[in-house]
Homo-oligomer: A and B are copies of this chain.
């Protein structure tokens, strides 16, 4: 475990390195280039490898972390080892603001999904940026509001739906329109079933069962890396209509 300053893992790199720029960070886009430069200097810059655990629930750091390159996942593990996925963080976004705002310990683990370039800003500095720039504060508020809405939905799902329903919903969230053939829907790249399971809070096996059920009902079709949604209507119907039909899928 390559712990270093601030007990975050990864390799610290000098501030003035090719590519070390906060200009791609959405949150800071309206900040003058002079001040942005000051923030860049205040950051600790880090490179991490895919698989690195950037933050664990035990880390003492309270920094806000801007993702310049790469992608990360926020997850947690139960005592029994069950994985619960919270979110993904893409380049241009940031995370770790909770601890920076309230000073409490980190509430989840964050692992790099690909190689990442990160800029870490100390809480005091972050709060100053917020105080000096009301529009940044509003953006952070908007982000937290979005997170809360997502959490609330998820709590409702967990509290009121069955495991199958939750898998339907999770799949529905992943559906995008076919970029080539319009009017056709697909999921690409298909996440691993285990990943879907941890987002829907169920088991890999249940996801597998649901998916083969959907496949045999001609709602889904699996072709190597992409998953074609043949009948998006019926998929949505399945979600709406709760357990109503559940086994009438085939007709």
Stretch binding the partner chain, chosen from A6-14, A96-104, A225-233 = A96-104
Max count, chain B CB within 10 A of own CB: residue among A134, A138, A145, A155: A145
Is A79 interfacial (CB 8 A cutoff)?
Answer: yes
Is A236 interfacial (CB 8 A cutoff)?
Answer: no
Question: What chain B residues lie within 8 Å of A142 (beta carbons)?
Answer: 101-102
Shortest C-beta distance, A93 to chain B (Å), equals 16
Selected from B98, B137, B161, the residue in CB contact (under 8 A) with A130 is B137
Is A222 interfacial (CB 8 A cutoff)?
Answer: no
- How far apart are the CA atoms of A57 and B58 in the complex, in Å? 38
Given A107-B149, A134-B130, A138-B130; A156-B76 close (CB under 8 Å): yes
Question: What chain B residues lie within 8 Å of A108 (beta carbons)?
Answer: 152
Q: Mark A135-155, 1 if CB is under 8 A from B, else 0.
A: 101101110111111011111
Tally A residues with Cβ within 8 Å of B: 43
Q: Mark A75-95, 1 if CB is under 8 A from B, else 0.
A: 010111010101000000000
- How far apart are the CA atoms of A197 and B104 in the complex, in Å? 29
Selected from B84, B97, B102, B135, the residue in CB contact (under 8 A) with A156 is B84
CB pair A107–B152 under 8 Å, yes or no, is: yes
Is A184 interfacial (CB 8 A cutoff)?
Answer: no
- How far apart are the CA atoms of A134 and B144 in the complex, in Å? 17
- How far apart are the CA atoms of A154 and B146 in the complex, in Å? 17
Shortest C-beta distance, A21 to chain B (Å), equals 26
Is A180 interfacial (CB 8 A cutoff)?
Answer: no
CB pair A101–B159 under 8 Å, yes or no, is: no
Is A127 interfacial (CB 8 A cutoff)?
Answer: yes
8 A Cβ contacts from A150-173 to B = 151-156, 158-161
Query: Given A107-B149, A130-B141, 20 more contacts at CB 8 Å?
Result: A76-B152, A76-B156, A78-B156, A78-B160, A79-B160, A84-B160, A101-B141, A102-B146, A102-B149, A104-B145, A130-B138, A131-B138, A132-B134, A137-B138, A148-B148, A151-B151, A151-B155, A155-B201, A158-B158, A158-B159
Report A's interface with B, CB cutoff 8 A: 76, 78-80, 82, 84, 86, 97-98, 101-102, 104, 107-108, 127, 130-132, 134-135, 137-138, 140-142, 144-149, 151-156, 158-161, 201, 242
Q: List 11 A-B contacts (CB under 8 A).
A: A78-B156, A79-B160, A82-B159, A84-B159, A101-B138, A102-B145, A107-B148, A131-B135, A144-B144, A144-B145, A155-B158
